Structure 1
Amino acid sequence: MVTTRATVARAPNGRRCDATREKRRAHVAVRARRGKGFLDVLRGDADEDGAKGEGGASAKTRATSSSERCPCGGGSEALTYGSCCKRFHDGDAYPEDPVTLMRSRFSAYAKGKGLYVLETTHPDNPLLKEGSKTKEGKVVSTLAADVEATCKKVRFYDLDIVRDVAGKKKGDEREHLVGFKYKCRVVAQKGFNELPEETHAELSTFRTVDGVWKFVDGIQGST
């Protein structure tokens, strides 16, 4: 999933935010372009103030039991979290294919497992290498900060895999495309109402590194 920097409006120290600015920051940017994963869900145009925003999974979602259905849907068998993605998040196993990796990353965002998202990101991911930048090229945030923010303030659910296609092969490296749709909602902040549910689509690229699959980037609004 694409990495999105949260830009939800906030009023620190009780300072009042004007309605236009609040709406602009809270809006979920959905553009058919190259992105970095689920973080793009919350990212509007990069700006220095927005880099401090939120974006990810609520505390209530992260606290769900291992016996409940996995956030990724649990596949055709509707497996519980404990029988599905938890073993990947705990480091007891690693996904053997791109679709499973994609599902486990989706669940990681839903469960607040930011470190897992970082560990399964390809070294060539633009945001991992260079961070979030303004239009002028100024670095305003890192992938780690964006993932942490997203995991705190966005709920992800209703994942649907719609495409699974082998891509190019370069030497020992293999590439794979996974298209999917999902729903998300920016959770309420103090002083603000919870935002409406959003439906998104993404076509993600995965590539092998030393024989294991990693997320490279994604195109928002495309499957």
Structure 2
Amino acid sequence: MPAPARPRPAAGPAGCPCGLPESYDACCGRFHRGEAPAPTAERLMRSRYSAFVRGEADYLLRTWHPGTRPARLDLDPGMRWTGLEILATEDGTAFHSTGVVEFRASYRGGALHERSRFERVEGAWAYVDGDFPGV
């Protein structure tokens, strides 16, 4: 059973939840709505972060590699994500079939540091898995 829907906050005056200056609708919202695929591994990472912020479990599952995708995803409605910092990227552009994005996602009370792997599946970027540096 999916987690209950929670109100979807609008992007603040600083722009999209992913940290880019565009509005949510012009930035990650278009990916969430299926209007366009994320053009790079980094943009997919940013859109997935925004999906966590906004409780978009369907988008997270849709952009997960079919070989590692869980059957379902239950998001914690009490989790409050507070910011995303991209620490490094390797490959992941239109000229690559794989990519890596290292990031720090802050939440109320802590932070998640992950080195995520991405791969193209039928032309679209997909999240494969990640490692947690220092753990």
**Same fold by TM-score greater than 0.5:** yes
- Which residue of structure 2 lines up, in the alignment, with residue 30 of structure 1? none
Query: Which residue pairs with 2:56 in the alignment?
Result: 113
Q: Residue 19 of structure 2 aligns with which residue?
A: 73
Question: CA 1:97–1:63 in structure 2 vs 1: closer, same or farther (change >3 Å)?
Answer: same
Bigger helix share: 1
Q: What is the alpha-carbon distance in structure 2 between the residues aligned to residue 215 and residue 159 of structure 1? A: 17
> What is the match of residue 176 of structure 1?
99
Deviation at 1:68, TM superposition (A): 6.3
Structure 1 unpaired stretches of 5+: 1-51, 129-141, 168-172, 186-196
State the Cα distance separating 1:175 from its structure 2 match: 1.4
Relative CO higher for 1 or 2, CA cutoff 8 Å, sep ≥ 6? 1
Gaps of 5+ in 2: none
CA–CA distance in structure 2, aligned partners of residues 123 and 112 of structure 1: 21
Distance 1:209 1:181 in 2: 25
The letter for the 2-side match of 1:116 is Y
Aligned positions, number: 129
Letter in 1 for 2:61: L
Deviation (angstroms), 1:67 = 6.7
Say if 2:57 and 2:75, in contact at 8 Å, map to a contact too: no
Structure 1 counterpart of 2:74: 148
**Contact (CA 8 Å) 1:112, 1:148: kept in 2 or not?**
no
**Separation (CA, whole Å) in 2 of partners of 1:153 and 1:82:** 24
What RMSD in Å do the two structures reach over aligned CA positions? 2.5
Q: Distance in 1 between matches of 2:11 and 2:107?
A: 20
Q: Which residue of 2 aligns with 1:102?
A: 45
> What is the distance in 1 between the residues matched to 2:123 and 2:103?
24
Distance 1:88 1:124 in 2: 21
Equivalence for 1:12: none
Deviations, residues 38-58 of structure 1 (Å, cap 9, x unaligned): xxxxxxxxxxxxxx9x8xxx9
- Taking the aligned partners of 2:34 and 2:75, their CA distance within structure 1 comes to 22
Q: Hey, what does 1:214 align to over in structure 2?
A: 126
Which residue pairs with 1:82 in the alignment? 25
Shift of 1:199: 1.6
How far apart in 1 are the matches of 2:122 and 2:99?
A: 15
Q: Give the secondary-structure state (helix, strand or coil) at the position aligned to 2:45.
A: helix
Relative to structure 1, the CA distance from residue 175 to residue 209 in structure 2 (aligned partners, 3 Å threshold; closer, same or farther) is same
User: In 2, are the aligned partners of 1:72 and 1:159 still within 8 Å (CA)?
Assistant: yes
What TM-score do the two structures reach when normalised by structure 1?
0.52
